Amino acid sequence: MSRKRNPKIPPFLSPIQSGMPQVLGKPHFFFLAPALLILAGVTLYPLFYVLWLSLHRRLIIFNISKFVGLENYGFLLRDERFWNALYNTVYFTGASVFLELTLGLGAAVLLNRAFKGKGIMRSIILIPWVIPTVVSARMWEWMYNPDYGILNYLFEANINWLGSPFWALNAAVFMDVWKTTPFVALLLMAGLQTIPVDLYQAARVDGASNWYIFKRITLPLLKPMILIVLIFRTLDAFRVFDAIYVLTGGGPANTTETLSIYAYKTLFQTLQFGYGSAIAVTVFFSVAIITIFYVKLLRRERE
Amino acid sequence: MRRLGFYIILVIVGLYCLGPFLWQFITSLKPAAELTTLPPLLPQSPTNENYVSIFKDHPFFRIIANSIVVATSTTVLSLVIGSLAAFALAKLEVKRKGLILAFILSVSMFPPIVTVSPLYIIIRALGMRDTLLALIITYTTFSLPLTIWVLTSFFRDIPHEIYLASRVDGCTAFQSFYKIILPLSTPGLFATAILVFIFSWNEFLFALTFTSTVASRTIPVGIALFPGVHEVPWGEIAAASVVVTIPIIILAFAFQRRIIEGLTAGAIKG
């Protein structure tokens, strides 16, 4: 935007504006090189390395490293534990993102007005999001405690939250919803601020109901922001590791084991670097596919 | 009436956000015997024994110091490297700018689990296992996309004419970077610094993988692997949680506006 030809700039400067500066030298390399080098070294190179590893049978402790082609991936297809982890990951992602978006949207719409103490309220809303994930997992683990947990006490229930296959994954979803709904709400609130107030006033003058206004003004105008939030949340949820790893360790009976946790355990507990890498690579490609899908949606939205 | 309803909603939202942390705080004040009785909710004989124990019986000083070193170094490094790159992307004529930005953004989509096994092998080969440096380098890399993205958007908001004027007046690109552009974007630098600091303070996967002793253990690992003899020491875990969360909460309260600015700048431009 700021690059556009500005009539206020005297004409003798215009070559600098249009083409940019042969005159001024080309120091770009100096500015960009450190960032690009470290990004290439610590992310791109490991990415190729992990693809290479996933084609090997590699057991570090026995010093075994053998090229096996796509064998690991073939085994993956027949590995029930892998499909179970994939199911858990998809369920966790779908359920938590859906709840976070609905609750976050509700909270954003409700809080999108001027009131006393709004700044403090926004800080309070930030807290679940800034608390370290590990700490929040420990907090919820204690609240979920079947005997001395406050949740069973408050709801006068007797639920074995983290011990029962049915509840455990949902318990992880609830924790994630608690932690990241605020993030969703804050971003959507920022999005709401960009909707012109006169649109609402005009609609009210025309006698539109709240629901109609929400459906016809808020939602369509907020859609790009909703999509952005969806990208962030879906990718984060799909990669989930710390939250569940600390809360349940993947148990009971692998019912909360996600792809990242399965990959981690295969890599660092059973020390199968080849097979673990193959699982990790599937996470990478899933995330890439999700990203491409969303970016296409977003592009269409912007056109 | 409507007003009252609104304030009830505020209280509910507030309790929802703060409740779990408050409960953790209450738990941290309870002596061991009271942990296993509910009700009463509040501690009958509040104690600081959990707080004393995490520093006396557990190496929490060391763990917190490690985290401070890692988070601060990461923040400084990412800001230096990231602002240089963001300056080039925002103000200089760079070939294939779109491609570079797309590459940087795609790195932020990388699932950490993908790079953890190769990085572990590399770090082991370099003899850098269990060092803070390994964490700092890794965290800097993973913070760079966010840093560059947010700072590029802040730098772009500075009128291009200001940059051009400084160049015409004889500044080199680097001089106009640190004499003109950087001072003008202090709020952006600040917002980014807080986000990077929080990220490095909270990161778990790499910290768990790369560290093996107290020499380089950071807070999240310390809390996840909190040792218990027979049962989980909930009181001490609660105390440790409170201690490490309070700095972050202070940051959230002090710089709420900046944090949200940084988050939205990162999101919208993405």
Domains of chain B: total: 2
Model confidence band, residue B239 (pLDDT cutoffs 50, 70, 90) = very high
Ramachandran class of A63: left when φ > 0, alpha when ψ lies in -120 to 50, beta otherwise: left
Residue A257: how many CA atoms within 13 Å on its side-chain side? Answer: 19
Domain assignment present for residue A14? The answer is no
The amino acid that residue B35 corresponds to is L
At residue A27, the pLDDT reads: 60
Domain assignment present for residue B252? The answer is yes
Domains of chain A: total: 1
Region B6-21: mean pLDDT is 90
At residue A12, the pLDDT reads: 43
Region B20-35: mean pLDDT is 90
The answer, for B257 touching chain A at a CB cutoff of 8 Å, is yes
Q: Give the separation between CA A69 and CA A242, rounded to whole angstroms.
A: 31
Domain assignment present for residue A246? The answer is yes
Q: Are B103 and B19 members of one domain?
A: no
Helical ranges in chain A per DSSP H: 14-18, 28-39, 45-53, 71-78, 80-111, 118-130, 133-143, 150-154, 165-193, 197-205, 210-213, 219-238, 242-247, 259-268, 273-302
At residue B268, the pLDDT reads: 64
Region A141-162: mean pLDDT is 88
Say if residues A178 and A136 touch (Cβ distance below 8 Å). Answer: yes
Task: Give the domain range for residue A163.
Answer: 77-302
Domain assignment present for residue A72? The answer is no
Q: Give the separation between CA A69 and CA A158, rounded to whole angstroms.
A: 51
Q: Are B167 and B256 members of one domain?
A: yes
Among A131, A291, A299, the strongest candidate for a mutation testing the B interface, having the largest count of B CBs within 10 A, is A131
The answer, for A108 touching chain B at a CB cutoff of 8 Å, is no
Q: Are B140 and B7 members of one domain?
A: no
Q: Are B214 and B244 members of one domain?
A: yes
Burial A258-284 (b: 16+ CB within 10 A, else e): bbbbbbbbbbbeeebbbbbbbbbbbbb
CATH number (domain holding residue B134)? 1.10.3720.10
Task: Give the domain range for residue B216.
Answer: 59-269
| Residue A29 buriedness (CB in 10 A; 0-12 / 13-18 / 19+) | exposed
CATH number (domain holding residue A118)? 1.10.3720.10
At residue B4, the pLDDT reads: 86
Model confidence band, residue B269 (pLDDT cutoffs 50, 70, 90) = low
Q: Which residue has the higher pLDDT, B122 or B36?
A: B122
**pLDDT over 70 (residue A18):** no
The answer, for B121 touching chain A at a CB cutoff of 8 Å, is yes
Domain assignment present for residue B220? The answer is yes
φ, ψ dihedrals at A132, nearest 5°: -55, 140
Q: Are B241 and B121 members of one domain?
A: yes
Cβ-nearest to B24 among A111, A139, A235: A139
**pLDDT over 50 (residue A5):** no
What is chain A's alpha carbon radius of gyration, rounded to the nearest angstrom?
Answer: 25
Model confidence band, residue A19 (pLDDT cutoffs 50, 70, 90) = very low
Domain assignment present for residue A4? The answer is no
Domain assignment present for residue B154? The answer is yes
pLDDT digit string, tens, across residues B220-232: 999 998 887 677 8
pLDDT digit string, tens, across residues B41-75: 888 888 889 999 899 888 899 999 999 999 999 99
Q: Are B110 and B218 members of one domain?
A: yes
Ramachandran class of A58: left when φ > 0, alpha when ψ lies in -120 to 50, beta otherwise: beta
Provide the mean pLDDT of chain B.
89
The answer, for B171 touching chain A at a CB cutoff of 8 Å, is no
The answer, for A139 touching chain B at a CB cutoff of 8 Å, is yes
Q: Name residues 175-214 of chain A within 8 A of B (Cβ).
A: 178, 182-183, 186-187, 190
CA dihedral B17, B22, B24, B29 (to 10 degrees): 170
Q: Are B36 and B161 members of one domain?
A: no
The answer, for B129 touching chain A at a CB cutoff of 8 Å, is no
pLDDT digit string, tens, across residues A270-295: 889 999 999 999 999 999 999 899 88
The answer, for A110 touching chain B at a CB cutoff of 8 Å, is yes
Domain assignment present for residue B52? The answer is no
Domain assignment present for residue B53? The answer is no
Beta carbons of B172 and A25 less than 8 Å apart: yes
In a 3-state reduction of DSSP, which class is residue B138?
helix
Q: Are B119 and B10 members of one domain?
A: no
Beta carbons of B82 and A264 less than 8 Å apart: no
Domain assignment present for residue A56? The answer is no
Query: Other CB atoms closer than 10 Å to residue A166's CB: what's the count?
Result: 10
Q: Are B140 and B249 members of one domain?
A: yes
Q: B-chain residues within 8 Å CB-CB of A122?
A: 256, 260
Domain assignment present for residue A165? The answer is yes
Q: Are B115 and B226 members of one domain?
A: yes
Q: Are B203 and B231 members of one domain?
A: yes
Q: Are B222 and B198 members of one domain?
A: yes
The answer, for A273 touching chain B at a CB cutoff of 8 Å, is yes
pLDDT digit string, tens, across residues A219-263: 998 998 899 899 889 999 999 999 999 999 988 989 999 999 999
Record the tokens describing residue A131, joined without a space.
């608390």
Helical ranges in chain B per DSSP H: 2-28, 32-35, 49-56, 60-91, 97-109, 112-125, 132-156, 160-168, 173-176, 182-184, 186-202, 205-210, 219-224, 234-254, 256-269
Region B209-214: mean pLDDT is 90
Q: B-chain residues within 8 Å CB-CB of A42?
A: 115, 119, 137-138, 141
Give percent of chain A with pLDDT exceeding 70.
91
